[in-house]
């Protein structure tokens, strides 16, 4: 006998700009978790409280590997297959170690990248504002800034990126037919295979080459694992572009906060984290976790084999953790937001992302006349992606 409550259709509503669905607060105010019916896959428990999300993401009794016969609860036609995001210990720590050693994100390296990014950001904005307004800040600034820093770091030719980002929507689109998604995934895999083959023959000083060098080592990568890691890394370029664009949009939408940062640039590190907390990313939930045994979460008994879907934007806007969460506050202390995830599958690039957000915002402050060229209701937000993205950010000066 099924003792679950009647499932609620999820998502609750179509995203609007960077607003967080108010239904999340209704969920938090009710006892326990919320039983939902997602667009694809099995029913699942929606996790909306900050403390419960952190618990699920760090507790080893919740895993990414699905039990036999399950259909992953998700927003996209096909689940994301064979990704580092799908792995659990003992494989996952080994893959993360390989990626960490390839990234070399020590403090000195990040400082060097910050110098490069600062110069590039100033150059891009100077070139943009030298032309008559208006301009698309996403196309003229945040995207080329991300490309200029991340493409050489990763080892992807800049001329390939536009094509690759078109393929990305095969992963991130919620409305594409399954056969189109499969075709995009196959195209990405073929591109990745060519990139790896090139680096095996002609290694360079980049991340892909360093990962290729680990092939065949005792604790190294298999060819299949390498391909999936490179896929994940390339997808991160699009994610970073989106985060930079959203941060710039938030700042330009609030002239008072723009003036506050311009008057006190020492607030920039805190501002970067607050912008990352404030702007929802992803749009709704992160990937499903499966309970390996019965576990109580927030007053709900999650049975072995059942799925939970952590809603990171809901956690970042939980008033039990963040006072007045809908208010942008550059003086917010600590700010342990969930935009990089938490626990075993925590994002590996926070120092780089924080640095790029800080640099992108700091360069804007040098152009006090910069402002949005269209009202919010006319901005072209994408509602059919699992990440919250604005297609164009029109500005004038």
- Residue 138 sits in a domain of what CATH number? 1.10.630.10
Q: Is residue 386 part of a domain?
A: yes
How many other CB atoms are found less than 10 A from the CB of residue 66?
18
Find the helix or strand (DSSP H, E) in which 228 lies.
helix 223-252
* Short-list 272, 273, 280, 334, CA closest to 24: 280
Do 145 and 117 form a contact (C-beta atoms < 8 A)? yes
Do 163 and 230 form a contact (C-beta atoms < 8 A)? no
Q: Is residue 156 part of a domain?
A: yes
The chain-wide mean pLDDT, for the chain, equals 91
Q: Is residue 2 part of a domain?
A: no
Q: Is residue 3 part of a domain?
A: no
Count of structural domains, the chain: 1
Q: What distance, in Å, lies between the first and last C-alpha atoms of the chain?
A: 64
**pLDDT bracket for residue 283 (50, 70, 90):** confident
Find the helix or strand (DSSP H, E) in which 371 lies.
strand 371-372
User: Could you give the CA distance from residue 227 to residue 240 in angstroms, rounded to a whole number?
Assistant: 21
Q: Is residue 261 part of a domain?
A: yes
* Short-list 318, 349, 335, 325, CA closest to 267: 335
**pLDDT bracket for residue 294 (50, 70, 90):** very high
Render pLDDT for 301-347 as a digit per residue (tens, 0 to 9): 999 999 999 999 999 999 999 999 999 999 998 899 999 999 988 98
Percentage of the chain beyond pLDDT 70 is 94
Angle at 355 between CA 352 and CA 357, to 5 degrees: 110
Q: Is residue 296 part of a domain?
A: yes
Q: Which residue has the tokens 């609620």?
A: 8
Above 60 in pLDDT, residue 167?
Answer: yes
Cis peptide before 81 (omega within 30 of 0): no
* DSSP character at residue 344: G
Q: Is residue 341 part of a domain?
A: yes
* DSSP character at residue 86: G
Domain around 104: 8-396
Which pLDDT score is estimated for 296? 98
The structure's pTM equals 0.93
* DSSP character at residue 54: H
Nearest 10 degrees: Cα torsion 85, 89, 90, 95: 30
User: Could you give the CA distance from residue 162 to residue 167 in angstroms, rounded to a whole number?
Assistant: 9
Which tokens go with 100?
A: 């960490």
Mean pLDDT of all residues in 71-82: 80
Percentage of the chain beyond pLDDT 90 is 67
């Amino acid at each position: 006998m099924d003792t679950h409550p009647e499932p609620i259709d999820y998502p609750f509503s179509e995203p609007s700009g960077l607003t967080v669905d108010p239904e999340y607060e209704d969920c938090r105010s009710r006892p326990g978790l919320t039983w939902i019916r997602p667009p694809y896959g099995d029913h699942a428990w929606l996790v909306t409280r900050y403390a419960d999300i952190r618990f699920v993401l760090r507790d080893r009794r919740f895993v990414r590997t699905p039990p036999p016969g399950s259909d992953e609860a998700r927003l996209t036609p096909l689940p994301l297959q064979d990704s580092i995001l799908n792995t659990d210990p003992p494989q996952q720590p080994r893959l993360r170690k390989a990626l960490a050693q390839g990234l070399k994100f020590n403090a000195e390296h990040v400082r060097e990248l910050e110098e490069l990014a600062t110069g590039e950001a100033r150059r891009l904005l100077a070139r943009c504002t030298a032309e008559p307004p208006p301009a698309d800040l996403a196309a003229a600034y945040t995207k080329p800034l991300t490309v200029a820093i991340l493409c050489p770091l990763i080892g992807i030719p800049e001329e390939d990126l536009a094509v690759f980002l078109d393929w990305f929507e095969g992963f991130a689109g919620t409305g594409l037919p399954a056969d189109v998604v499969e075709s995009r995934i196959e195209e990405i895999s073929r591109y990745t295979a060519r990139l790896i083959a090139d680096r095996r023959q002609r290694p360079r000083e980049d991340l892909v080459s360093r990962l290729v060098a680990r092939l065949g080592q005792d604790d190294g990568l298999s060819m299949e694992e390498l391909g999936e890691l490179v896929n994940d890394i390339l997808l991160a370029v699009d994610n970073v572009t989106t985060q930079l664009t959203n941060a710039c949009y938030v700042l330009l939408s609030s002239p008072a906060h723009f003036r506050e940062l311009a008057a006190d640039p020492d607030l920039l590190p805190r501002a970067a984290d607050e912008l990352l907390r404030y702007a929802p990313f992803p749009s709704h939930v992160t990937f499903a976790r499966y309970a390996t045994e019965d576990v109580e979460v927030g007053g709900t008994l999650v049975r072995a084999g059942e799925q939970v879907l952590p809603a990171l934007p809901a956690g970042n806007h939980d008033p039990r953790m963040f006072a007045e969460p809908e208010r942008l506050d550059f003086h917010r202390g600590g700010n342990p937001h969930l935009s990089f995830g938490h626990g075993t599958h925590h994002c590996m690039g926070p120092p780089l992302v924080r640095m790029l957000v800080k640099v992108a915002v700091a360069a804007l402050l040098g152009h006090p006349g910069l402002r949005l060229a269209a009202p919010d209701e006319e901005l072209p937000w994408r509602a059919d992606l699992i990440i919250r993205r604005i297609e164009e950010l029109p500005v004038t000066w």
